[in-house]
Amino acid sequence: MPGNAGRNESSPLVLVASSLAGLRKRCRQALERGHPVHEVTERGELERSMVNRRPAALLLDLALPNLGGPGGIAAIQKLCSATKIITLTTAPDEREGIAVLKAGARGYCDREIDGPLLEKATAVVLKGEIWVGRKLIPHLLEELTALTQQRLREAPGKSDDRLERVTPRERQIVDLLSAGASNKEIARRLNVTERTVKAHLTAIFRKLGLAGRLQLALFALEHGRFTRPPDGIGPRFN
Amino acid sequence: MAAKTGHHGNAMPPITVVVAERQKADRAACLRLLGPEEGIRVVGEARSALEAITSAARLRPRILLLDLVLARASGTSLIPALRLRSPQTKVILLTEGASEARTLEALCHGARGYLDRSVLARFLPRAVRVVDAGEAWVPRKMVSRIMDRLAGLTAWGMKTA
Protein backbone atom coordinates (compact mmCIF):
# COMPACT_ATOMS: atom_id res chain seq x y z
CA MET A 1 0.00 0.00 0.00
CA PRO A 2 1.41 3.39 -0.90
CA GLY A 3 2.02 6.01 1.74
CA ASN A 4 2.28 3.61 4.62
CA ALA A 5 6.02 3.21 4.86
CA GLY A 6 7.36 1.53 7.96
CA ARG A 7 4.24 -0.46 8.66
CA ASN A 8 3.76 -4.08 7.88
CA GLU A 9 1.12 -4.52 5.20
CA SER A 10 -0.62 -7.15 7.21
CA SER A 11 -1.11 -4.91 10.26
CA PRO A 12 -4.73 -4.98 11.28
CA LEU A 13 -7.04 -2.25 10.11
CA VAL A 14 -8.51 0.10 12.69
CA LEU A 15 -11.74 1.91 11.94
CA VAL A 16 -12.41 5.22 13.70
CA ALA A 17 -16.03 6.38 13.93
CA SER A 18 -16.81 9.87 15.15
CA SER A 19 -18.45 12.99 13.83
CA LEU A 20 -15.71 15.07 15.46
CA ALA A 21 -12.75 15.80 13.21
CA GLY A 22 -10.51 16.56 16.19
CA LEU A 23 -11.19 13.23 17.84
CA ARG A 24 -10.68 11.29 14.60
CA LYS A 25 -7.38 13.08 14.07
CA ARG A 26 -6.14 12.23 17.57
CA CYS A 27 -7.07 8.58 17.07
CA ARG A 28 -5.33 8.48 13.70
CA GLN A 29 -2.19 10.06 15.08
CA ALA A 30 -2.09 7.65 17.99
CA LEU A 31 -2.51 4.56 15.83
CA GLU A 32 -1.17 5.17 12.35
CA ARG A 33 2.35 4.12 13.26
CA GLY A 34 1.16 0.58 13.78
CA HIS A 35 -2.06 0.29 11.81
CA PRO A 36 -3.84 1.35 8.68
CA VAL A 37 -6.58 3.68 9.90
CA HIS A 38 -9.86 4.39 8.21
CA GLU A 39 -12.19 7.16 9.36
CA VAL A 40 -15.96 7.33 9.14
CA THR A 41 -18.15 10.20 10.27
CA GLU A 42 -21.66 8.81 10.46
CA ARG A 43 -23.57 5.63 11.10
CA GLY A 44 -24.40 4.59 7.55
CA GLU A 45 -20.76 4.86 6.52
CA LEU A 46 -19.76 2.98 9.66
CA GLU A 47 -22.10 0.11 8.79
CA ARG A 48 -20.79 -0.12 5.25
CA SER A 49 -17.19 -0.08 6.40
CA MET A 50 -17.84 -2.79 8.97
CA VAL A 51 -19.20 -5.04 6.23
CA ASN A 52 -16.75 -4.16 3.46
CA ARG A 53 -13.51 -3.63 5.32
CA ARG A 54 -13.97 -6.01 8.26
CA PRO A 55 -11.68 -4.00 10.56
CA ALA A 56 -9.77 -5.72 13.36
CA ALA A 57 -10.73 -2.94 15.74
CA LEU A 58 -13.27 -0.14 15.82
CA LEU A 59 -12.77 2.99 17.91
CA LEU A 60 -16.35 4.07 18.38
CA ASP A 61 -17.35 7.49 19.71
CA LEU A 62 -20.46 6.85 21.80
CA ALA A 63 -21.67 10.31 20.81
CA LEU A 64 -21.86 9.28 17.15
CA PRO A 65 -25.26 10.52 15.91
CA ASN A 66 -27.95 7.83 15.65
CA LEU A 67 -25.81 5.23 17.35
CA GLY A 68 -28.63 4.50 19.74
CA GLY A 69 -26.67 3.52 22.84
CA PRO A 70 -25.63 -0.03 23.78
CA GLY A 71 -28.30 -1.55 21.54
CA GLY A 72 -26.63 0.20 18.62
CA ILE A 73 -23.26 -1.25 19.58
CA ALA A 74 -24.68 -4.76 19.44
CA ALA A 75 -26.12 -4.06 15.99
CA ILE A 76 -22.79 -2.71 14.73
CA GLN A 77 -21.00 -5.71 16.18
CA LYS A 78 -23.29 -8.05 14.27
CA LEU A 79 -22.05 -6.64 10.97
CA CYS A 80 -18.61 -8.08 11.66
CA SER A 81 -18.36 -10.29 14.71
CA ALA A 82 -14.55 -10.44 14.57
CA THR A 83 -14.15 -6.69 15.07
CA LYS A 84 -13.09 -5.68 18.57
CA ILE A 85 -14.99 -2.56 19.56
CA ILE A 86 -13.44 0.06 21.82
CA THR A 87 -15.90 2.71 22.92
CA LEU A 88 -14.97 6.31 23.63
CA THR A 89 -17.15 8.20 26.08
CA THR A 90 -17.59 11.85 26.94
CA ALA A 91 -18.33 11.15 30.59
CA PRO A 92 -16.98 7.87 31.98
CA ASP A 93 -19.62 6.29 34.15
CA GLU A 94 -19.89 2.84 35.71
CA ARG A 95 -23.36 2.09 34.49
CA GLU A 96 -22.60 3.10 30.93
CA GLY A 97 -19.35 1.11 31.06
CA ILE A 98 -21.13 -2.08 32.12
CA ALA A 99 -23.85 -1.54 29.53
CA VAL A 100 -21.42 -1.17 26.63
CA LEU A 101 -19.38 -4.18 27.74
CA LYS A 102 -22.55 -6.21 27.97
CA ALA A 103 -23.41 -5.09 24.47
CA GLY A 104 -20.17 -6.68 23.30
CA ALA A 105 -17.62 -3.85 23.42
CA ARG A 106 -14.14 -4.94 24.51
CA GLY A 107 -12.99 -1.55 25.70
CA TYR A 108 -14.41 1.53 27.35
CA CYS A 109 -12.36 4.70 27.65
CA ASP A 110 -12.58 8.38 28.21
CA ARG A 111 -12.65 10.31 24.95
CA GLU A 112 -9.87 12.50 26.32
CA ILE A 113 -7.52 9.51 26.62
CA ASP A 114 -4.01 10.46 25.48
CA GLY A 115 -2.37 8.99 22.40
CA PRO A 116 0.06 6.51 23.95
CA LEU A 117 -2.67 5.15 26.22
CA LEU A 118 -5.07 4.76 23.31
CA GLU A 119 -2.38 2.88 21.42
CA LYS A 120 -1.94 0.61 24.42
CA ALA A 121 -5.69 0.11 24.81
CA THR A 122 -5.96 -0.90 21.17
CA ALA A 123 -3.05 -3.33 21.47
CA VAL A 124 -4.54 -4.89 24.62
CA VAL A 125 -7.96 -5.33 23.04
CA LEU A 126 -6.50 -6.72 19.81
CA LYS A 127 -4.71 -9.29 21.97
CA GLY A 128 -8.10 -10.46 23.18
CA GLU A 129 -8.15 -8.71 26.51
CA ILE A 130 -10.48 -6.08 27.93
CA TRP A 131 -9.64 -2.42 28.47
CA VAL A 132 -11.61 -0.77 31.27
CA GLY A 133 -10.84 1.59 34.11
CA ARG A 134 -10.00 0.02 37.45
CA LYS A 135 -13.09 1.50 39.04
CA LEU A 136 -15.30 -0.56 36.77
CA ILE A 137 -13.85 -3.93 37.76
CA PRO A 138 -15.60 -4.29 41.15
CA HIS A 139 -18.89 -3.60 39.41
CA LEU A 140 -18.16 -6.35 36.91
CA LEU A 141 -17.44 -8.66 39.84
CA GLU A 142 -20.70 -7.70 41.55
CA GLU A 143 -22.56 -8.44 38.36
CA LEU A 144 -20.75 -11.74 37.98
CA THR A 145 -21.56 -12.78 41.54
CA ALA A 146 -25.20 -11.77 41.26
CA LEU A 147 -25.67 -13.70 38.01
CA THR A 148 -23.85 -16.74 39.37
CA GLN A 149 -25.99 -16.81 42.50
CA GLN A 150 -29.13 -16.33 40.46
CA ARG A 151 -28.16 -19.20 38.23
CA LEU A 152 -27.49 -21.45 41.20
CA ARG A 153 -30.85 -20.56 42.72
CA GLU A 154 -32.62 -21.34 39.48
CA ALA A 155 -30.82 -24.64 39.05
CA PRO A 156 -33.22 -27.54 39.28
CA GLY A 157 -33.19 -30.01 42.15
CA LYS A 158 -32.65 -27.32 44.73
CA SER A 159 -35.89 -27.70 46.64
CA ASP A 160 -35.03 -29.73 49.63
CA ASP A 161 -37.44 -31.77 51.69
CA ARG A 162 -34.66 -32.92 53.98
CA LEU A 163 -35.49 -29.84 56.01
CA GLU A 164 -38.79 -31.29 57.10
CA ARG A 165 -37.09 -34.20 58.79
CA VAL A 166 -35.43 -32.44 61.70
CA THR A 167 -37.21 -31.71 64.96
CA PRO A 168 -37.58 -28.19 66.43
CA ARG A 169 -34.93 -29.05 69.02
CA GLU A 170 -32.55 -30.09 66.29
CA ARG A 171 -33.24 -26.85 64.45
CA GLN A 172 -32.22 -24.89 67.53
CA ILE A 173 -28.94 -26.75 67.59
CA VAL A 174 -28.33 -26.09 63.91
CA ASP A 175 -29.01 -22.38 64.39
CA LEU A 176 -26.59 -22.15 67.30
CA LEU A 177 -23.94 -24.14 65.47
CA SER A 178 -24.15 -22.05 62.34
CA ALA A 179 -23.83 -18.93 64.48
CA GLY A 180 -20.49 -20.30 65.59
CA ALA A 181 -21.30 -21.89 68.94
CA SER A 182 -19.21 -24.80 70.18
CA ASN A 183 -20.83 -27.98 71.53
CA LYS A 184 -20.16 -26.71 75.01
CA GLU A 185 -21.85 -23.39 74.32
CA ILE A 186 -24.81 -25.10 72.69
CA ALA A 187 -25.15 -27.37 75.72
CA ARG A 188 -25.11 -24.41 78.08
CA ARG A 189 -27.61 -22.43 76.02
CA LEU A 190 -30.07 -25.30 75.80
CA ASN A 191 -29.40 -26.48 79.32
CA VAL A 192 -28.45 -30.02 78.33
CA THR A 193 -25.21 -31.99 78.50
CA GLU A 194 -22.57 -31.87 75.79
CA ARG A 195 -23.19 -35.55 75.22
CA THR A 196 -26.81 -34.84 74.39
CA VAL A 197 -25.72 -32.16 71.94
CA LYS A 198 -23.39 -34.64 70.24
CA ALA A 199 -26.16 -37.22 70.02
CA HIS A 200 -28.45 -34.63 68.42
CA LEU A 201 -25.74 -33.65 65.97
CA THR A 202 -25.18 -37.25 64.95
CA ALA A 203 -28.90 -37.58 64.28
CA ILE A 204 -28.95 -34.32 62.29
CA PHE A 205 -25.96 -35.33 60.14
CA ARG A 206 -27.65 -38.65 59.40
CA LYS A 207 -31.04 -37.12 58.56
CA LEU A 208 -29.57 -34.48 56.30
CA GLY A 209 -26.91 -36.71 54.81
CA LEU A 210 -24.12 -34.32 55.75
CA ALA A 211 -20.55 -35.14 56.64
CA GLY A 212 -19.85 -32.70 59.44
CA ARG A 213 -20.20 -29.36 61.15
CA LEU A 214 -18.99 -27.25 58.24
CA GLN A 215 -21.37 -28.87 55.77
CA LEU A 216 -24.17 -28.41 58.28
CA ALA A 217 -23.39 -24.74 58.83
CA LEU A 218 -23.28 -24.14 55.08
CA PHE A 219 -26.47 -26.12 54.56
CA ALA A 220 -28.24 -24.05 57.21
CA LEU A 221 -27.05 -20.78 55.69
CA GLU A 222 -28.00 -21.81 52.21
CA HIS A 223 -31.47 -22.79 53.26
CA GLY A 224 -32.34 -19.58 55.04
CA ARG A 225 -35.80 -20.75 56.02
CA PHE A 226 -34.14 -23.31 58.19
CA THR A 227 -33.98 -20.77 60.97
CA ARG A 228 -37.75 -20.40 60.87
CA PRO A 229 -39.62 -23.67 61.21
CA PRO A 230 -42.68 -24.06 59.00
CA ASP A 231 -45.93 -22.85 60.51
CA GLY A 232 -47.61 -25.27 62.82
CA ILE A 233 -44.50 -27.27 63.54
CA GLY A 234 -43.15 -26.46 66.94
CA PRO A 235 -42.61 -23.08 68.56
CA ARG A 236 -40.83 -20.21 66.86
CA PHE A 237 -37.45 -19.44 68.22
CA ASN A 238 -35.04 -16.84 66.97
CA MET B 1 1.29 9.14 64.34
CA ALA B 2 0.15 6.37 66.61
CA ALA B 3 -2.62 4.09 65.44
CA LYS B 4 -5.76 5.19 67.19
CA THR B 5 -8.55 2.86 68.00
CA GLY B 6 -11.74 4.80 67.72
CA HIS B 7 -12.58 7.09 70.59
CA HIS B 8 -10.39 9.87 69.29
CA GLY B 9 -12.82 11.61 67.00
CA ASN B 10 -10.31 12.58 64.32
CA ALA B 11 -8.86 9.13 63.68
CA MET B 12 -10.22 6.90 60.93
CA PRO B 13 -11.35 3.56 62.27
CA PRO B 14 -8.80 0.93 61.27
CA ILE B 15 -9.45 -1.55 58.49
CA THR B 16 -10.26 -4.72 60.41
CA VAL B 17 -8.91 -7.97 58.97
CA VAL B 18 -9.49 -11.64 59.72
CA VAL B 19 -6.88 -14.07 58.41
CA ALA B 20 -8.25 -17.48 57.42
CA GLU B 21 -5.35 -19.74 56.48
CA ARG B 22 -4.83 -23.44 57.10
CA GLN B 23 -1.14 -23.19 57.76
CA LYS B 24 0.24 -21.52 60.84
CA ALA B 25 3.19 -20.17 58.88
CA ASP B 26 0.86 -18.50 56.37
CA ARG B 27 -1.18 -16.89 59.13
CA ALA B 28 2.03 -15.69 60.72
CA ALA B 29 3.20 -14.22 57.41
CA CYS B 30 0.01 -12.18 57.06
CA LEU B 31 0.26 -10.97 60.65
CA ARG B 32 3.86 -9.99 60.15
CA LEU B 33 3.08 -8.05 56.98
CA LEU B 34 -0.02 -6.30 58.30
CA GLY B 35 1.11 -5.78 61.89
CA PRO B 36 3.21 -2.66 61.26
CA GLU B 37 0.68 -1.15 58.85
CA GLU B 38 -0.95 1.97 60.15
CA GLY B 39 -4.72 1.91 59.88
CA ILE B 40 -4.95 -1.86 59.45
CA ARG B 41 -5.69 -4.18 62.34
CA VAL B 42 -5.85 -7.96 62.31
CA VAL B 43 -8.71 -8.79 64.66
CA GLY B 44 -8.91 -12.53 64.25
CA GLU B 45 -7.53 -15.71 62.77
CA ALA B 46 -9.23 -18.81 61.45
CA ARG B 47 -7.75 -22.20 60.61
CA SER B 48 -10.69 -23.86 58.92
CA ALA B 49 -13.63 -23.00 56.69
CA LEU B 50 -16.03 -23.27 59.61
CA GLU B 51 -13.87 -21.00 61.72
CA ALA B 52 -13.73 -18.56 58.82
CA ILE B 53 -17.53 -18.34 58.76
CA THR B 54 -17.97 -18.12 62.49
CA SER B 55 -15.24 -15.56 63.03
CA ALA B 56 -16.50 -13.42 60.14
CA ALA B 57 -19.99 -13.57 61.64
CA ARG B 58 -18.69 -12.67 65.08
CA LEU B 59 -16.08 -10.07 64.21
CA ARG B 60 -17.59 -8.58 61.05
CA PRO B 61 -14.19 -7.63 59.64
CA ARG B 62 -13.95 -5.27 56.70
CA ILE B 63 -11.53 -7.67 55.01
CA LEU B 64 -11.26 -11.43 55.14
CA LEU B 65 -8.08 -12.97 53.79
CA LEU B 66 -9.15 -16.43 52.72
CA ASP B 67 -7.05 -19.40 51.69
CA LEU B 68 -8.40 -20.51 48.30
CA VAL B 69 -8.19 -24.12 49.44
CA LEU B 70 -10.51 -23.32 52.36
CA ALA B 71 -12.83 -21.43 50.04
CA ARG B 72 -13.12 -24.56 47.92
CA ALA B 73 -13.22 -26.99 50.82
CA SER B 74 -16.97 -27.34 50.72
CA GLY B 75 -17.82 -26.94 47.08
CA THR B 76 -18.99 -23.50 46.12
CA SER B 77 -20.94 -22.28 49.08
CA LEU B 78 -18.39 -20.87 51.52
CA ILE B 79 -18.06 -17.35 50.12
CA PRO B 80 -21.83 -16.90 49.64
CA ALA B 81 -22.30 -18.10 53.20
CA LEU B 82 -19.72 -15.60 54.41
CA ARG B 83 -21.41 -12.80 52.51
CA LEU B 84 -24.73 -13.77 54.04
CA ARG B 85 -23.31 -13.78 57.55
CA SER B 86 -21.30 -10.60 57.18
CA PRO B 87 -22.36 -8.73 54.03
CA GLN B 88 -19.94 -5.84 54.48
CA THR B 89 -16.89 -8.10 54.64
CA LYS B 90 -14.83 -8.13 51.46
CA VAL B 91 -12.99 -11.32 50.66
CA ILE B 92 -9.47 -11.46 49.23
CA LEU B 93 -8.31 -14.94 48.26
CA LEU B 94 -4.79 -16.08 48.95
CA THR B 95 -3.64 -18.49 46.28
CA GLU B 96 -0.58 -20.48 45.44
CA GLY B 97 -0.07 -21.14 41.76
CA ALA B 98 -3.82 -21.64 41.39
CA SER B 99 -5.27 -22.05 37.92
CA GLU B 100 -7.23 -19.23 36.35
CA ALA B 101 -10.30 -21.46 36.30
CA ARG B 102 -10.26 -22.07 40.04
CA THR B 103 -9.64 -18.46 40.87
CA LEU B 104 -12.39 -17.34 38.50
CA GLU B 105 -14.78 -19.77 40.15
CA ALA B 106 -14.08 -18.18 43.54
CA LEU B 107 -14.48 -14.69 42.07
CA CYS B 108 -17.87 -15.77 40.70
CA HIS B 109 -19.00 -16.53 44.21
CA GLY B 110 -18.16 -13.13 45.57
CA ALA B 111 -14.44 -12.65 46.26
CA ARG B 112 -13.16 -9.15 45.50
CA GLY B 113 -9.67 -10.10 44.53
CA TYR B 114 -6.85 -12.55 44.86
CA LEU B 115 -3.19 -12.52 45.62
CA ASP B 116 -0.62 -15.23 45.01
CA ARG B 117 1.48 -16.02 48.07
CA SER B 118 4.64 -15.47 46.03
CA VAL B 119 3.89 -11.73 45.89
CA LEU B 120 2.32 -11.39 49.31
CA ALA B 121 5.19 -9.42 50.79
CA ARG B 122 5.04 -6.88 48.00
CA PHE B 123 1.33 -6.37 47.70
CA LEU B 124 -0.66 -7.54 50.72
CA PRO B 125 -1.02 -4.21 52.54
CA ARG B 126 -1.85 -2.43 49.29
CA ALA B 127 -4.36 -5.08 48.24
CA VAL B 128 -6.09 -4.77 51.62
CA ARG B 129 -6.38 -1.00 51.29
CA VAL B 130 -7.47 -1.06 47.65
CA VAL B 131 -10.17 -3.69 48.20
CA ASP B 132 -11.35 -1.94 51.36
CA ALA B 133 -11.71 1.23 49.29
CA GLY B 134 -14.13 -0.59 47.01
CA GLU B 135 -11.87 -1.58 44.16
CA ALA B 136 -10.95 -5.05 42.98
CA TRP B 137 -7.51 -6.65 43.10
CA VAL B 138 -7.25 -8.74 39.96
CA PRO B 139 -4.79 -8.69 37.06
CA ARG B 140 -5.94 -7.39 33.70
CA LYS B 141 -5.93 -10.77 32.03
CA MET B 142 -8.48 -11.94 34.57
CA VAL B 143 -10.80 -9.11 33.57
CA SER B 144 -11.20 -10.74 30.16
CA ARG B 145 -12.04 -14.06 31.80
CA ILE B 146 -14.60 -12.27 33.98
CA MET B 147 -16.16 -10.66 30.91
CA ASP B 148 -16.27 -13.95 29.01
CA ARG B 149 -17.99 -15.62 31.92
CA LEU B 150 -20.35 -12.69 32.31
CA ALA B 151 -21.23 -12.87 28.63
CA GLY B 152 -21.93 -16.58 28.97
CA LEU B 153 -24.12 -16.10 32.03
CA THR B 154 -26.00 -13.23 30.44
CA ALA B 155 -26.73 -15.26 27.32
CA TRP B 156 -27.88 -18.09 29.51
CA GLY B 157 -30.14 -15.74 31.46
CA MET B 158 -31.77 -14.45 28.29
CA LYS B 159 -32.44 -17.91 26.98
CA THR B 160 -34.40 -18.92 30.06
CA ALA B 161 -36.16 -15.59 30.57
A117, A53: one domain: yes
pLDDT, residue A3, reads 46
Is residue A22 domain-resident?
yes
Cα angle A163, A236, A191; round to 5: 95
Residue from B78, B84, B92, B153 whose CB has the most chain A CBs within 10 Å, to mutate: B153
CATH of residue B37: 3.40.50.2300
Q: Which residue has the higher pLDDT, A2 or B90?
A: B90
Provide the shortest C-alpha distance from residue B35 to chain A (in Å).
Answer: 26
How far is B136 from B127, CA to CA, in rounded Å? 8
CATH code for the domain in which residue A204 is found: 1.10.10.10
pLDDT at A68: 87
**Is B8 a domain residue?**
no
pLDDT given at position A232: 31
Sorted by sequence, the CB contacts under 8 Å of residue B52 that are 6+ apart come out as B18, B20, B46, B64, B66, B70, B78, B82
Stretches in chain B below the pLDDT threshold 70: 1-10, 74-76, 155-161
Domain stop point among A113, A132, A151: A132
Q: Which of A114, A132, A150 is the last residue of a domain?
A: A132
Min distance B141 CA to chain A CA atoms (Å): 6
Interface membership of B48 toward A (CB under 8 Å):
yes
Do A25 and A124 fall into the same domain? yes
Confidence (pLDDT) at A4: 47
Residue A84 falls within a domain, yes or no?
Answer: yes
Are A168 and A114 members of one domain?
A: no
pLDDT score, position B91: 95
**Number of domain units in chain B:** 1
User: Do residues A106 and A49 both lie within one domain?
Assistant: yes
Contact A102 B140 (CB under 8 A): no
Asked if A141's CB is within 8 angstroms of B136's CB, the reply is yes
Please tell me the predicted confidence (pLDDT) of residue A17. Answer: 96
Rg over alpha carbons for chain B, rounded to the nearest Å, is 16
Task: Tell me: pLDDT of A1 over 80.
Answer: no
Contact A218 B81 (CB under 8 A): yes
Q: Within a domain: residue A197?
A: yes
Q: Which residue of A has its CA nearest to B50?
A: A214
Q: Is residue B10 part of a domain?
A: no
Higher pLDDT, A90 or A221: A90
Has residue B80 been placed in a domain? yes
Q: How far is B99 from chain A (nearest CA, A)?
A: 18
- Residue A104: its chain B contacts at CB < 8 A? 151
Name the closest residue on chain B to residue A102, using Cα atoms.
Answer: B151
Do A19 and A115 lie in one domain? The reply is yes
Q: Could you tell me if A50 and A117 lie in one domain?
A: yes
Contact B153 A147 (CB under 8 A): yes
SS3 A11: coil
Report pLDDT for A174. Answer: 85
- Please indicate, yes or no, if residue B4 is contained in any of the structural domains: no
Structure confidence by residue, pLDDT tens digits, A151-202: 777 765 555 667 677 888 888 888 888 777 889 999 999 999 999 999 999 9
Rounded Cα gap, residues B18 and A45, in angstroms: 57
pLDDT of B152 reads 77
| B59 inside domain | yes
Residue of A nearest to B78 (CA): A218
Residues of chain A contacting residue B50, judged by C-beta atoms under 8 Å apart? 213-214, 217
The answer to whether residue B148 neighbours chain A at the CB level (below 8 Å) is no
A73 occurs within a structural domain: yes
**Which pLDDT belongs to residue B160?**
33
Q: Which residues contact B109 (CB under 8 A, 6 or more apart)?
A: A145, A148, A149, B71, B76, B77, B78, B79, B80
Tens digits of residue pLDDT in A4-18: 444 555 789 999 999
* Contact indicator for B85, A221 with CB cutoff of 8 Å: yes
Q: Could you tell me the residue range of the domain that residue B32 belongs to?
A: 15-160
Overall pTM surpassing 0.80 (yes/no): no
Per the domain annotation, does A107 fall within a domain?
A: yes
The number of domains in chain A is 2
Does the beta-carbon distance from A154 to B138 stay under 8 Å?
no
- What is the Cα–Cα distance from A172 to B51, expressed in whole angstroms? 20
Average pLDDT, chain A: 84
Q: Are residues A99 and A197 in the same domain?
A: no
Cβ of A141 within 8 Å of Cβ of B146? The answer is yes
Q: Which residue has the higher pLDDT, A235 or A185?
A: A185
- Which residue type, as a one-letter code, is found at position A41? T
Q: Is residue A147 part of a domain?
A: no
Provide the domain limits for residue A106.
14-132
Q: What is the ipTM of this complex?
A: 0.82
The pLDDT value recorded for residue A163 is 67
Local confidence band at A50 (pLDDT 50, 70, 90 cut-offs): very high
User: How many other CB atoms sit within 10 Å of the CB of residue A112?
Assistant: 11
Tell me how close the Cα of A30 comes to any Cα of chain B, in angstroms.
Answer: 22
Between CA B42 and CA B27 the distance in angstroms is 11
User: In this predicted structure, what is the pLDDT of residue B155?
Assistant: 60
Q: Is the pLDDT of residue A215 over 90?
A: no
Q: Please judge whether B157 and A151 are an interchain contact, meaning their C-beta atoms are less than 8 angstroms apart.
A: yes
- Using one digit for the tens of pLDDT, what is the confidence trace for A54-84? 999 999 999 999 998 888 999 999 999 999 9
Determine, yes or no, domain membership for B2.
Answer: no
Average pLDDT over residues A25-36: 94
Q: Please indicate, yes or no, if residue A234 is contained in any of the structural domains.
A: no
The answer to whether residue B5 sits within a structural domain is no
* Domain limit, last residue, from A132, A147, A180: A132
